[in-house]
Amino acid sequence: MIKLQLLLRDPARDRSDDPALCALLEAHGMHVTACGMATISAEASLADAENLFGSIPNVRAGFASDVTSTPALAIPADLEHAVSLITIAPRHAATSQPT
């Protein structure tokens, strides 16, 4: 699965819009995993992601493996009203705890 992050156009939007937006994402083969005020996290199979966005570069274990060269992905026309950016999620590394 490819991990995706979607930056929303209106972070202060009415949360009642979420079901409609989630339904659009599901129609594109994305499974929503978390919703925040400014972003939505989702995942898609590699086949669904490549069908929607074209070739997916720099992916290792579903995450962006080279954050500095991961391009923004094309936003489908029916999501442009709500989404300003789609990227492959970077892998988050836990920082070491002070001893």
What are 23-50's pLDDT values in tens digits? 999 999 999 998 888 889 999 998 999 8
Q: What is the pLDDT of residue 86?
A: 93
Backbone angles phi, psi at 4, to 5 degrees: -120, 150
Please identify which residue in the block is written with the tokens 């989404």: 83
Residues 42, 26: Cα–Cα separation, whole Å: 9
pLDDT in tens, 7-27: 998 865 666 668 888 999 999
Q: What is the pLDDT of residue 24?
A: 93
The per-residue b/e assignment along 31-58, b for 16 or more CB within 10 angstroms, e otherwise, is ebeeeeeebbbbbbeeebbeebbeebee
Q: What is the pLDDT of residue 20?
A: 87
CB atoms under 10 Å from CB of 88, counted, come to: 25
Query: Full-prediction pTM beyond 0.85?
Result: no
